[in-house]
A and B are shown apart, each in its own frame.
Chain A
């Protein structure tokens, strides 16, 4: 097969361009993230629907107003001291964590880096925001999705937003500084560096 001279002259360049675009848009976003499974196959849906629990029953505020975050094993063991059901996940949780009193190493999707100070009490109690505003439908999922960690920066994929193009085109949906600032601007709220970077 032969191409006209002008096309065959540009074909190698076009081929290189297409290969790079395919690799950069399809392969790179998958390769940059490391996928790690959560230690326990936890169902928010079962706890909310069958257990009748609300978000703050487990993700509670302490007496001093600070946010306790992911509950410790003590809280789980209060109900799961003995198996609640016969599922394999339940048995595994009891055998691996409750009985040996070993804290599960939960991977927190929304954990901000150490140089960020985020106050849950200000956003939830003062501003009246719903948990879903930032955490989406996490509270009604039947299993915990795998945790995706950036291989270089070690940030959670949730911080940077789900779309792969976020670092080329600015996208919403993550928990980056730009997302915080955008929301504060929309609400007409004052913000300064030291609000979050103490």
Chain B
């Protein structure tokens, strides 16, 4: 036998045929598939002895008490604490270049924290420093309420502290006025289907405004509105929750704030974004590390000066990070230590911590230390200083989920999940007409905006599915928000079958949603529960930017 090219090909052919009859190719395929499940890029949880830790979650305003099951010190599962009484269950150069009358402002999406005090103190040390936050409604004493009129507020679906709301549920009658049959509407005692965008008119109608006007806008009869107003009056104490955070009724209380050290009181006052002159903010620092209600970007943009610098502190670029000049990455719960202000349904002041149970990745920035550093303020121990002030005040009681009794060291107990609860000396809040005025003004502005900016017909009325939504969705909640049908996603929109058919859309289609304020791509869901002529949209930042300042929309298949 001689070595020829033909024989070499035959040898290679034989080797190839033989290889197929061995485990080699099949095993390599299997192992490569398995490698994809276990390669070094896939995070591996620690192994070790199990333990239990207590703390508080800071992902939303409710601040629920949490029992964490840890393995080797790392949390692997979180559960509520049933016994808990509340939750039951580069800038320096820009700063120097500010012109007279221009401001450096911090926008705090979750006011009421110790961090908020640090921002206010820091802004007091900076010329024209301003602290901005969304307006804070009065606290609600749910234990006393007998009738609630909710104008599209998801009372039974995430509003307030869910455990507290459900504990009080049997004591109040819930009337849900909303365009679509939401989860709260399904579980309410009565659902009043009203036209989208007519919530403010109904609010005015039941609080002394024109009943005829309310009936014309909402689609309800005058008789229905009169009997609604009578029920709120006669079956009190009652509570009315408006679509833009308005709260009115007989159960509002003026909640005291948890004590702070005396030297902190030289801080700048709290200002609302609306009170700022247009074009007056040169440097805007937005703290999104503790998400709160999203303020649509167009409202912020109008307040910025030319050549302004916007810095967002966030753990995702999904929020204001898309518009900011700089986005500095921050830690997310449970990687960061923060305190949690009381939720709207907590009538007394509280103080509790969300502990850092997992080490944050390298390169993250602590917004509090960053902003305090700009002002030359040392705020590393602010939380501990506040705990000392609270203990010194002698006020309140302490709930310790580990059942260790009254602790001698409040700071140590707080780190282990304890909650300081103020004494119940909340004062009743006088009723004001501000909320009603604000609501009406918003409605008028939206209507005028729609008329002014839109020449094309917009056949669909917009209903927000998640009216009070943080800009950012925590990675811990991604299964609920992105991987299930439990909620409309951050780019989700739901249509009645007849409207979907008219637009040539089916569930899963991608469409362009257009309003007078702009357009955005949405993922369509066809849903019988949405009335014809209505489009229900999710709570993502893009949708809030485009739909938050508009009443009507249209969808076009993309």
Contacts and interface: CB of A to CB of B under 8 A. Distances in A.
Given A12-B7, A72-B49, A165-B23, A113 B13 contact: no
Given A66-B50, A114-B44, A153-B38, A167 B23 contact: yes
Interface string A54-94: 00000000101010100010000000000000000000000
A24 B26 contact: no
A175 interface: no
B90 interface: no
Interface string B1-41: 10000011011111111110111101110111011011000
A152 B23 contact: no
A114 B38 CA distance: 8
A10 B42 CA distance: 49
A19 B32 CA distance: 24
B53 to A, nearest CB: 15
A15 B22 contact: no
A153 B14 contact: no
B486 to A, nearest CB: 18
Contact of B35 (A18, A114, A152, A166): A152
Main secondary structure of the interface of A (DSSP, over half): helix
A62 B51 CA distance: 11
B403 interface: no
Interface in B388-420: none
A14 B27 CA distance: 24
Interface stretch (A25-33, A39-47, A118-126, A132-140): A25-33
A4 to B, nearest CB: 12
B90 to A, nearest CB: 41
Given A3-B1, A8-B1, A167-B23, A113 B14 contact: no
Contact of B14 (A8, A12, A154, A165): A12
Interface in A152-177: 152-155, 164-168
Given A17-B18, A20-B18, A25-B23, 4 more contacts: A32-B27, A68-B49, A114-B37, A153-B34
Interface of B: 1, 7-8, 10-19, 21-24, 26-28, 30-32, 34-35, 37-38, 42, 44-45, 49-50
Closest 7 interchain pairs by CB? A24-B22, A16-B14, A20-B18, A153-B34, A12-B10, A16-B15, A152-B31
15 contacts: A12-B1, A13-B11, A16-B11, A16-B18, A20-B17, A20-B19, A28-B27, A62-B50, A64-B50, A114-B45, A154-B35, A154-B38, A167-B26, A168-B23, A168-B27
